[in-house]
Structure 1
């Protein structure tokens, strides 16, 4: 008879002590962020669609003047900013997870994650600038190029 090897499986309710790891578990925080930001994004996006499409004139009512009027309110600036930031960070975190899962070589993984970080940061910065510096009626512009809401 051969000697039988036994494997002990710990009780699933037992808490494990991580050896050699100190501080915050970044993957757990990432997982938690994805859940919280996902719920917030659902609320923000459906609120955005409800106000823009259901309460308004639908797609045909969304034009330059509509956006200009909406972004005149700090409430809608912050609403759209939250959608932008949460959407980009949520999506970037998801792509980071995919890169970690499928990029086998550490160098390739580092390059891809660096490019992803660069793209997310640049898009967040540019989007934030657009939201807070948008002026549908710039001073000194040719009046023939301005939308009708700037007349007067």
Structure 2
């Protein structure tokens, strides 16, 4: 088939900007692939966990006006509900942290800015997971 003589020739695409030093060898890793797969799986699990939580709390258990210290104490007497809440906490925090990590990588242009934003993100995620897990495991209604 003859080429269209009137069509303009496309210029070669620009090469992506390098974030590493020109001489440095870059180690190959599948981390981004695993992070992508994690986002899909955790998003699906969170969808069912959160909708189940909302349905049970707002429809089956009489609404949010019933939620107080005694309600939480009774609910967390069961290992099932502690596990449900712990899994929901861990997945939500890791899912959100991974999403923000991707946003930081996409929009923070300077390496130093990227580093400090990610350190702030990882520190806050660690604190939220640690405190949430501590509350779930050490909750004692008799105190």
Sort the TM-score into its range (normalised by shorter chain): 0.7 to 0.9
Deviation at residue 21 of structure 1 after TM alignment: 4.7
| Distance (whole Å) between structure 1 residues aligned to residue 32 and residue 10 of structure 2 | 34
- Aligned with 2:60 (options 37, 55, 63): 55
* TM-score (normalised: structure 1): 0.75
- Aligned with 1:92 (options 94, 97, 111): 97
Aligned pairs for 1:108-127 within 5 A:
108-127=113-132
Aligned pairs for 1:1-150 within 5 A:
21-22=27-28, 24-138=29-143
Structure 1 stretches of 5 or more lacking a match?
8-19, 139-152
Deviation at residue 71 of structure 1 after TM alignment: 0.8
The residue aligned with 1:143 is none
Runs of 4+ displaced beyond 6 Å: 4-7
| Distance (whole Å) between structure 2 residues aligned to residue 5 and residue 73 of structure 1 | 65
Structure 2 stretches of 5 or more lacking a match?
1-8, 13-25
From the superposition, tell whether residues 90 and 6 of structure 1 become closer, same or farther in structure 2 (CA, over 3 Å): closer
SS class of match (2:97): helix
From the superposition, tell whether residues 64 and 101 of structure 1 become closer, same or farther in structure 2 (CA, over 3 Å): same
SS class of match (2:141): coil
* TM-score (normalised: structure 2): 0.80
